[in-house]
Structure 1
Amino acid sequence: MLTVSCLLFYFSFAYNLTRTEYTKLIMLYVALFFLFYKLVKLLKHNLSLLTWIAFGFRAVFILAIPNLSQDFYRFIWDGYMILTGFNPYLYTADHQMSLGIITGLHNQIELYEGMGALNSSHFTNYPPINQLCFVIANLFPGTSILSSVIGLRLIIIAADFGTLYFGKKLLEKLNIPAHNIFWYILNPFIIIELTGNLHFEGVMIFFLIWSLYLLYSGKWQWAAVVLALSISVKLIPLIFLPLFFQYFMKRNVISNEQNNEKPPIDKQIALSLPPRNNTLNGIKKLIGFYTIVLITTVLLFAPFYSSEFVNNYAKTVGLWFQNFEFNASIYYLAREIGYLFRGYNEIAIIGKVTPIIVVLFVFIITFFRKNKTTVELITAMVLVLSFYYFTATTVHPWYVATLLILSVFTKYKFPLVWSFVIILSYLAYINLNSADKSENLWIIGLEYVIVYGVLFWEIFTKKHYSSISSKRWIL
Structure 2
Amino acid sequence: MLKKLKPYKIQLLFIISILVMYCTFAYGLQRYDFVKLITLYAALFFLSFKLIHLLKTDFKILVAVGVLARCIFFIAEPNLSQDFYRFLWDGRLLTQGLSPYLLTPDQWVAQGTIPISQSSELLEGMGSLSRAHYSNYPPVNQFFFWLAGLFSGNSILGGIVVLRLSIIAADLGIVWIGSKFLKVMGLPAQQIFWYFLNPFIVIELTGNLHFEGVMLFFMLAALYLLYLKKWFWAAVLWGLSVSVKLVPLMLLPLLFQFLIKPAKPSVQTQDFLRYVKQNLPASLWKSTRFYGLAILIFILSFSPFLNSALLEHFSATLSLWFQKFEFNASMYYVVRWVGYQVKGYNIIETAGKVLPLIAVVALLALSFFRKNRSLQQLFTGLLFGISCYFALSTTVHPWYLATPLLLSVFTRYRYMLMWTFTIMFSYAAYQVDGVHEKLVLVAFEYCAVAGYLILELNTKKSLKLFS
Query: How far apart are the structure 1 equivalents of 2:329 and 2:295?
Result: 31
Listed as ranges, the gaps of 5+ residues in structure 2 are 1-12, 269-274, 463-467
Task: Name the structure 2 match of 1:265.
Answer: none
Contact 1:428 / 1:443 at 8 angstroms: preserved in 2?
no
**Bigger mean CA deviation after superposition, 74-83 or 341-350:** 341-350
Identify the match of residue 51 of structure 1 among 45, 54, 63: 63
Report the TM-score, using the length of structure 1 for normalisation.
0.91
Query: How far apart are the structure 2 equivalents of 1:357 and 1:176?
Result: 34
Q: Does 1:165 align with 2:181?
A: no
Across the two proteins, how many residue pairs are aligned to each other? 444
Q: Does 1:223 align with 2:234?
A: yes
Identify the match of residue 440 of structure 2 among 442, 446, 451: 442
Task: Name the structure 1 match of 2:6.
Answer: none
In the TM superposition, what is the alpha-carbon distance from 1:275 to its structure 2 partner? 10
In the TM superposition, what is the alpha-carbon distance from 1:293 to its structure 2 partner? 0.6
In the TM superposition, what is the alpha-carbon distance from 1:282 to its structure 2 partner? 2.2
Query: How far apart are the structure 1 equivalents of 2:364 and 2:175?
Result: 31
**Bigger mean CA deviation after superposition, 135-144 or 402-411:** 135-144
Query: How far apart are the structure 1 equivalents of 2:152 and 2:209?
Result: 19
Structure 2 counterpart of 1:293, which letter? A
In the TM superposition, what is the alpha-carbon distance from 1:6 to its structure 2 partner? 0.6
In the TM superposition, what is the alpha-carbon distance from 1:343 to its structure 2 partner? 1.1
Query: How far apart are the structure 1 equivalents of 2:152 and 2:335?
Result: 50
Task: Give matches, 1:96-245, under 5 Å.
Answer: 96-103=108-115, 105-245=116-256
Query: How far apart are the structure 1 equivalents of 2:297 and 2:414?
Result: 34
Aligned to 2:127, the other structure's residue is in SS state helix
Identify the match of residue 73 of structure 1 among 81, 85, 90: 85
Report the TM-score, using the length of structure 2 for normalisation.
0.92
Query: How far apart are the structure 1 equivalents of 2:117 and 2:422?
Result: 38
Aligned to 1:349, the other structure's residue is in SS state helix
Q: Does 1:91 align with 2:103?
A: yes
In the TM superposition, what is the alpha-carbon distance from 1:174 to its structure 2 partner? 1.1
In the TM superposition, what is the alpha-carbon distance from 1:464 to its structure 2 partner? 4.5
Query: How far apart are the structure 2 equivalents of 1:399 and 1:227?
Result: 18
In the TM superposition, what is the alpha-carbon distance from 1:179 to its structure 2 partner? 0.8
Identify the match of residue 263 of structure 2 among 246, 253, 266: 253
Deviations 1:416-440 (A, max 9, x none): 110111110101345x638xx6411
Q: Does 1:433 align with 2:433?
A: yes
Deviations 1:198-249 (A, max 9, x none): 0000100110111111111111111100000000000000111111211122
In the TM superposition, what is the alpha-carbon distance from 1:130 to its structure 2 partner? 0.2
Q: Does 1:417 align with 2:418?
A: yes
Query: How far apart are the structure 2 equivalents of 1:82 and 1:49?
Result: 40
Contact 2:426 / 2:437 at 8 angstroms: preserved in 1?
no
Structure 1 counterpart of 2:322, which letter? F
Q: Does 1:462 align with 2:459?
A: yes
Query: How far apart are the structure 1 equivalents of 2:409 and 2:130?
Result: 33
Contact 2:95 / 2:150 at 8 angstroms: preserved in 1?
no
Aligned to 1:20, the other structure's residue is in SS state coil
Query: How far apart are the structure 2 equivalents of 1:32 and 1:165?
Result: 24
Structure 2 counterpart of 1:79, which letter? G
Contact 1:10 / 1:60 at 8 angstroms: preserved in 2?
yes
Aligned to 2:302, the other structure's residue is in SS state helix
Query: How far apart are the structure 2 equivalents of 1:26 and 1:438?
Result: 17
Contact 2:32 / 2:430 at 8 angstroms: preserved in 1?
no
Query: How far apart are the structure 2 equivalents of 1:312 and 1:243?
Result: 29
Q: 1:245 to 1:257 in 2, by over 3 A?
A: closer
Contact 1:429 / 1:440 at 8 angstroms: preserved in 2?
no
Identity rate, percent: 47
Contact 1:106 / 1:144 at 8 angstroms: preserved in 2?
no
Query: How far apart are the structure 1 equivalents of 2:49 and 2:322?
Result: 35
Query: How far apart are the structure 2 equivalents of 1:327 and 1:52?
Result: 34
